[in-house]
Amino acid sequence: MATVQDLLKVAIAEIGVKESPANSNRVKYNTEYYGRVVSGSDYLWCVVFVWSMFKKAGMSNLFYGGGKTASCSTLNAYHRARGQSVSTGNWKPGDLIFFNFKGKTSTQHIGICESYDGTYITTIDGNTGTGNEANGGAVMRRKRDKKYVVSAIRPKYDGTDSKADAETNYTWVQPTAYLPVLQYGAKNMYVSALQSLLNGLGHDCGTVDGSYGPKVLSAVKAFQKAQGISVDGSVGKETWSRLLVKR
């Protein structure tokens, strides 16, 4: 049985773990994820911590289909495409909460929801701290105002309902999931997810900044051409489906 309680139990037991030395991103979760000791600014580990907790709880298949990602935007897009998004304020223990502390809509940080009281959400996070919410170097229990939440998803734990919240102006990717149609000029968190997915597949989008500019357009068209689908630069049902195929 893959339950929320299993996940929270292993995550809470990790509270207090810190990277060493400070500000290095050298931490046991990264070592486990990459298969070697790593350090430096390329190895932020808030998502890696969540990956490790799912693995430790025996539910890796619920994290990213049994695969790996260290990207907030990629993980968010993966679950949204499977109908597992959670509308604002309906958060429950075990939900994966994506934050942005700079007033933007892109996904900057992730935590595992422990509780929500209607105003404040309490999460267990990796790579956080009182001096830097999104790169603080420790596993902590954090209580934050709901205004910092930009997205949330609910993996399909045993005994839970992870049905999608209905949204308008979205295109079907799977029978129970919506994602937006993206066009040149769009600026939102879904473009960030698109950039991460394309970069991961070898179609260079440059920096993940949530902006659908010329470099993203070129990468989208190259991907569409390689997939043998319409090369129009519009990221709709067909393109999203091809991007999100488990590899």
Looking at every residue in the chain, the average pLDDT score rounds to 88
Predicted confidence at residue 167, as pLDDT, reads 37
CATH of the domain at 239: 1.10.101.10
Is 165 a domain residue?
A: no
Could you tell me if 124 and 225 lie in one domain? no
Of the pLDDT bands very low, low, confident and very high (cuts 50, 70, 90), residue 168 is very low
Predicted confidence at residue 1, as pLDDT, reads 62
Of the pLDDT bands very low, low, confident and very high (cuts 50, 70, 90), residue 246 is low
**pLDDT of 177 above 70:** no
| Cα dist from 209 to 122, 200, 243, whole Å | 27, 15, 18
Domain count for the chain: 2
**pLDDT 10s digits, 195-231:** 888 877 888 888 888 899 999 999 999 999 888 889 9
Q: State phi, psi for 191 to the nearest 5 degrees.
A: -65, -40
Predicted confidence at residue 189, as pLDDT, reads 82
**pLDDT 10s digits, 226-243:** 888 899 999 988 898 888
First to last CA, the chain: 25
CATH of the domain at 75: 3.90.1720
**pLDDT of 34 above 90:** yes
Could you tell me if 77 and 176 lie in one domain? no
Could you tell me if 29 and 149 lie in one domain? yes
Could you tell me if 181 and 148 lie in one domain? no
Could you tell me if 36 and 102 lie in one domain? yes
Instruction: Provide the residue range defining the domain that includes 203.
Output: 170-243
Could you tell me if 59 and 112 lie in one domain? yes
Could you tell me if 67 and 139 lie in one domain? yes
Predicted confidence at residue 176, as pLDDT, reads 32
Could you tell me if 119 and 236 lie in one domain? no
| CA separation for the pair 77, 245 (Å, rounded) | 12
Q: Considering the chain, what percentage of its residues have pLDDT values greater than 90?
A: 61
| CA separation for the pair 57, 11 (Å, rounded) | 9
Nearest CA-CA partner of 106 in 173, 194, 168: 194
**Range 38-66 average pLDDT:** 94
Is 209 a domain residue?
A: yes
